[in-house]
Amino acid sequence: MNKFMVVTRQVIRKNIKSPAYLFSLFFPVLIIAVIALFAFITNKTNQTPTIAITSNNVALRNALVESPTHGDYRVNKAISSERVAEKRLSHEKIDGYLNVTTTGQTVSAVYRQRTNGNSLDSDTLKNNLNTLKLRQAAQQLGLTAKQLQQLFAPASYKTQNVAYQNGVVRRQKSNQQGANLVVAFVVTFLIYMFIAMYTSMIAQETATEKGSHIMEILVSSVSPVTQFFGKVTGMLALIVLQVIITGIAGLIGMQYFNHNISFLGDFSFSQIQPGMVSVLVAYFVLGVMLYTVIAAMLGSMVTRQEEVSQALSPLTTVGMLAYVASFIAVNSNSLLIRIGSYVPFLSQSLMPVRYAVGNAALSEVWVSVAIAAIALVLMTWIACRVYQQHVLDYSNRRHWYQFGRKRRA
Amino acid sequence: MLTVANLTKRFGPKQGVEDEAFTIQQGEIMGLIGQNGAGKTTTFRMILNLLQPDSGTVLWQGHPLTKADYNTVGFLPEERGLYTRMSIQDQVVYFAALRGQQPAVTRKALPQWMARFNVKGKLTDKIKDLSKGNQQKVQLIATLIHQPKLIILDEPFSGLDPVNAQLLEDSIIEMKQNGASIIFSSHDMANVERISDHLLMLRNGETVLSGTPDEIRSQFGNTRVRLRSPLDRAALVAFPGVNDVQQRGNAYELTLDNEAVGHDLFKAATSQGYIPEFSQEPPSLDEIFRIEVANHE
Ligand SMILES: Nc1ncnc2c1ncn2[C@@H]1O[C@H](COP(=O)(O)OP(=O)(O)OP(=O)(O)O)[C@@H](O)[C@H]1O
Ligand SMILES: [Mg+2]
């Protein structure tokens, strides 16, 4: 087994065994499970109500009893008189009853329900009643079925969203844009979370090794370059693992709750363009890795573990600003936002959102991705050099403090 | 074979190591002694390339130490460092893997090493739950378990009780018999003298003593006598050529002007026949250490 792999595996093993990491890894699964449990319990306690239907118009009553219930209620067909229904209601045998009175052309209905019974979602029942009433009226007017259909055909109503790109209209189906934006938001948030998490993980680890002088053993066993790449690769593997677990949890969750959560109502994965998916994956990997690499470098520059968060703070601040700016990017396409969407360390938050709302074309996105990729290569090279120089540097604290002082000045 | 020649390192105006030179053959143990700040740790760091010398060379088997040699090195740093949240087994397996030893091999050998060093703890115990001495022993195991050929131990005896120090001495001797070149530092002159084939004393980075323990001690002459005889304190103080008389229990320790005084002393002490103790030796290493330090102040 070569030493690069030894280091990589160690990074993975060590974190996989840490309860804190495992918790964060399975946090989305936990959330989904909690919501599922909650939904399950509410479904259990809120069962379909059993009702009775009574009327002075027997034909209408029978037709209503036979109408489709869509699972919203169950009809106790045996009860046909108001008196019996009231008695059953008082004995809590039924949850409520509908009494329909027809006088001439007028149809009026009263639904009496127990306050302690299962509540009725009355939409279906109302629709059924209206349909029957209309049919009755149409019959009396002597209309044919076709005339009836014409009469009640609703007017067509559609929303079209347009975005202008250099003065040219770009068409996007409205729900497609919605889906893109939802996914862009979720992914931008996750990228930010991952950045915060993995930068601190790798920096802590490096600083601990340096602070506890484990580094002297490491450096006399493995070259710092191998060590650096082994660590970064281990982190990459953990990131990919977490993306996969989070992705699967998200997918299952969305399928499961499609009907329960209104804003996901007309959300479907088929609406997300393949371009969008590759863009997001690219930013996920490049964005998080950029930060991770720099964090490893910063971790090697401090002398004690306690200095880590201070050393990391400029980096995490940049990440947070980029994240906050992504909200502005939804409604604004200002010069600053446009430039920012090409700048490494910012682009992973801004460009996905700009693309999702139709403010950037796919070609522009790939330019920004390419810039991020070049930046990653460059930063990795720089970080590796710094790491190499600083992992054993205990005495010379000048580097860091000089750097810190310059920044503050 | 490790060959160190003309090794020099300065830290600004401070002297780290000055023109240091020695050779350690296979199956040889070199003991490095010297006051705090003498340059022992600096020497080790330069051997391992952890620190760049200003001048001089370090050759291992005739070539500079490179990545390819890392697997044959066993290094116990001065400041101990272990991953405190790892289990004993994971920790040792990882360090050994970094030296190129397969995990399966390490796992198989580990129980014997745990028994040999009498480590109090299970393989699955976390490092942080061990006592300091036991952590130290785990670190020693991690240093030696891959059967290194170049062993560098920076104060390996510090923190060990006499029984465990003996166990470590035995292990170092065994490594030597397996053909390893070993260099270690210590402030305990007794165990340095017991196990070192060669001895080097540094003072402010300069080499002030070098040779086998016997050679070094005999340089100072056979001028120490320990005596139990009918001669009393007054007689000893008055004896010509005797410089200093110290009473230790019912024995006396004397410092002589020169070796020959011992002959006269022996005659006088045994003039009435049997005496229980007479021994004439060079000064102890402890004493030589103090003499050397005092000499240069
Ligand atoms: N990184 C460094 N920067 C500046 N000076 C250093 C550095 N490392 C060591 N020194 C100095 O070099 C000298 C030798 O130090 P070294 O650590 O080798 O001593 P030592 O013999 O190991 O002492 P001890 O017995 O206390 O461990 C000391 O004066 C020390 O202050
Ligand atoms: Mg030292």
Res A267: pLDDT: 55
For the ranges A49-63, A155-169, A273-287, A364-378, the lowest mean pLDDT is seen at: A155-169
Res A268: pLDDT: 58
- Mean local confidence (pLDDT), B22-49: 94
A323: pLDDT strictly greater than 50:
yes
Whether residues B120 and B236 fall in one domain: no
A11 to chain B: nearest residue by CA?
Answer: B94
Centroid of ligand 1 to alpha carbon of B169 (angstroms):
26
Mean per-residue pLDDT over chain A, rounded = 82
Tens of pLDDT, residue by residue over A16-43, are 988 889 998 888 888 888 877 877 776 6
For the ranges A130-144, B38-52, B127-141, B181-195, the lowest mean pLDDT is seen at: A130-144
Q: Are strands A50-55 and A96-103 parallel, antiparallel or unpaired?
A: parallel
Res A48: pLDDT: 79
Give the span between the Cα atoms of A6 and B71, in whole angstroms.
14
- Mean local confidence (pLDDT), A252-271: 58
- Mean local confidence (pLDDT), B1-29: 93
The enclosing domain of B251 has a CATH number of: 3.30.70
Task: Give the ligand 1 atom nearest the CA of B12.
Answer: 4
The C-alpha torsion from A297 through A298 and A303 to A309, rounded to 10°, is -150
Interface contacts (A, B; CB < 8 Å): 59
Is A398 within 8 Å of chain B by CB? no
Whether residues B188 and B273 fall in one domain: no
Res A405: pLDDT: 40
Mean per-residue pLDDT over chain B, rounded = 92
Cα separation values, B241 from B69, B223, B256, B283, Å: 56, 10, 6, 17
Q: Can you list the positions of beta strands (E) in A242-384?
A: none
Centroid of ligand 2 to alpha carbon of B69 (angstroms):
24
Res A372: pLDDT: 95
User: A320: buried, middle or exposed (CB in 10 Å: 19+, 13-18, 0-12)?
Assistant: middle
A280: pLDDT strictly greater than 70:
yes
Whether residues B156 and B11 fall in one domain: yes
Whether residues B246 and B145 fall in one domain: no
Whether residues B238 and B209 fall in one domain: no
Mark which of B168, B185, B213 sits at the end of a domain: B213
Res A138: pLDDT: 81
**Residue A396 has which token pair?**
């010379």
Cα A277 to chain centroid, rounded:
14
Whether residues B195 and B235 fall in one domain: no
Of the pLDDT bands very low, low, confident and very high (cuts 50, 70, 90), residue A156 is confident
Residue nearest ligand 1's atom 19 by CA = B37
List the Cα angle A200/A204/A205 in 5-degree steps.
120
A161: pLDDT strictly greater than 70:
no
Of the pLDDT bands very low, low, confident and very high (cuts 50, 70, 90), residue A165 is low
Domain boundaries, chain A: 47-144, 173-408
Any idea what DSSP says for residue B87?
A: B
Lining ligand 1 with CB less than 6 A are: A 395; B 11, 14, 16, 34, 36-42, 78
Res A168: pLDDT: 57
Give the span between the Cα atoms of A172 and B222, in whole angstroms.
102
For CA atoms B161, B167, B172, B173, the dihedral sign is positive
> Could you give the residue ranges of the DSSP H alpha helices within A302-346?
308-331, 335-340
In a domain, residue B107? The reply is yes
Give the span between the Cα atoms of A297 and A87, in whole angstroms.
79
Centroid of ligand 1 to alpha carbon of A226 (angstroms):
28
A393: pLDDT strictly greater than 60:
yes
**Distance, first Cα to last Cα, chain B:** 35
Domain count, chain B: 2
Is B239 within 8 Å of chain A by CB? no
Write out the H or E segment, with its range, that includes residue A128.
Answer: helix A123-141
Mark which of B160, B193, B213 sits at the end of a domain: B213
Tens of pLDDT, residue by residue over B225-277, are 999 998 888 999 999 999 999 998 889 999 999 999 999 999 999 999 999 99
Any idea what DSSP says for residue B83?
A: -
Determine the topology of domain A47-144 in CATH.
Answer: D-Maltodextrin-Binding Protein; domain 2 (3.40.190)
Among candidate residues A390, A21, A42, the one with its CA nearest the CA of residue A239: A21
**pLDDT greater at residue B246 or residue A243:** B246
3-state secondary structure B169-217: HHHHHHHHHCCCEEEEECCCHHHHHHHCCEEEEEECCEEEEEECHHHHH
Phi/psi at B261 (nearest 5 deg)? -55, -30
Is A392 within 8 Å of chain B by CB? yes
In a domain, residue B294? The reply is no
Pocket test for ligand 1, best of B7, B9, B40 (most atoms within 8 A of CB): B40
- Cβ within 8 Å, pair B81-A216: yes
One-letter identity of residue B132: K
In a domain, residue B287? The reply is no
Tens of pLDDT, residue by residue over B68-103, are 899 999 999 998 889 988 999 999 999 999 999 999
Whether residues B130 and B49 fall in one domain: yes
Q: Which residues of chain A does B51 touch, with a Cβ-Cβ cutoff of 8 Å?
A: 392
Report the SS3 class of residue A92: coil
- Cβ within 8 Å, pair A14-B83: yes
Is B132 within 8 Å of chain A by CB? no
**Residue A295 has which token pair?**
């964090």
Of the pLDDT bands very low, low, confident and very high (cuts 50, 70, 90), residue A196 is very high
Mark which of B213, B237, B271 sits at the end of a domain: B213
Of the pLDDT bands very low, low, confident and very high (cuts 50, 70, 90), residue B104 is very high
CB nearest A220 (choices: B73, B79, B85): B73
Whether residues B69 and B126 fall in one domain: yes
Of the pLDDT bands very low, low, confident and very high (cuts 50, 70, 90), residue A358 is confident
A260 CB-side CA count, 13 A = 13
- Cβ within 8 Å, pair A209-B98: no
A88 CB-side CA count, 13 A = 23
Tens of pLDDT, residue by residue over B119-157, are 988 999 999 999 999 999 999 999 999 999 999 999 999
Tens of pLDDT, residue by residue over A286-321, are 999 999 999 999 999 988 888 898 999 999 999 999
Of the pLDDT bands very low, low, confident and very high (cuts 50, 70, 90), residue A258 is low
For the ranges A59-73, A139-153, A255-269, A306-320, the lowest mean pLDDT is seen at: A255-269
Res A148: pLDDT: 75
Among candidate residues A360, A321, A316, A362, the one with its CA nearest the CA of residue A341: A360
> pTM of the prediction?
0.77
Res B150: pLDDT: 96
A270: pLDDT strictly greater than 80:
no
Whether residues B89 and B147 fall in one domain: yes
pLDDT over 90 percentage in chain A: 30
Of the pLDDT bands very low, low, confident and very high (cuts 50, 70, 90), residue A404 is very low
> Could you give the residue ranges of the DSSP H alpha helices within chain B?
40-47, 88-98, 103-116, 132-144, 162-177, 189-195, 213-219, 233-238, 261-269, 285-295
What residue numbers bound the domain in which B20 lies? 2-213
Is A357 within 8 Å of chain B by CB? no
Write out the H or E segment, with its range, that includes residue B242.
Answer: strand B242-248
Cα separation values, B218 from A239, B29, B221, B282, Å: 66, 20, 5, 6
**Residue B208 has which token pair?**
């002030």
